[in-house]
Amino acid sequence: DVVMTQSPLSLPVTLGQPASISCSSSQSLVHSDGNIYLNWFQQRPGQSPRRLITKISNRDSGVPDRFSGSGSGTDFTLKISRVEAEDVGVYYCMQGTHWPLTFGGGTKVEIK
C-alpha cells in the first residue's frame, strides 16, 4: 500500500499569516493515464470532509484562492497564503492513483 505521510501533526497559526502542510508518498503517484492523483481535503470541526484540491494543484469550485497546492515526485505541499478563522480544522492529503486509496494522518490547523 502507498503510505502517505503528513507533517506537521499540529499547526498553530496566527490569523493573517501563511501556513504550509507537507505530504509525502512512499511511491510515485503517476497513474497509467499520466495524471498524478494527489488530493487535499479539509475537515472543519463537526463537518464532513470537503475536497479542496485535486491533481496536485487544481482548486475545486468555490475554494478560496488563498489555498494552493504544489509538488512533484513524491513530495507535495498545501499552502494557505493568509489563514482565516474559517480555515480551522484537519487537513488530509490522499492519493487516488493506486489501490487501495490512502490518506495521510491529518494535520490539525488551529489559531494561536
* Residues at the contact surface with other proteins, assessed by CB under 8 A: 37, 39, 41, 43, 48-51, 54, 60, 90, 92, 94, 96, 99-106
Residue 50: CB minimum distance to other proteins, A: 7
Q: How far is the CB of 65 from other proteins (least distance, A)?
A: 18
Q: Which string of DSSP letters, residue by residue, matches 16-56?
A: TS-EEEEEEESS--B-TTS-B-EEEEEE-TTS--EEEEETT
Q: Residue with C-alpha cell 502542510?
A: 21
Question: Length of the chain, please?
Answer: 112
- 50 vs 66 by CB, closer to other proteins: 50
Contact 107, 80 (CB under 8 A): no
Nearer to other proteins, 13 or 92 (CB): 92
Q: Which is nearer to other proteins, 68 or 102 (CB)?
A: 102
Give me the least distance between CB of 14 and other proteins, in Å please: 26
Distance CA 22, CA 65 (A): 19
Q: Which residues pair with 6 in a beta bridge?
A: 23
Residue (16 or 99) nearer to other proteins, CB: 99
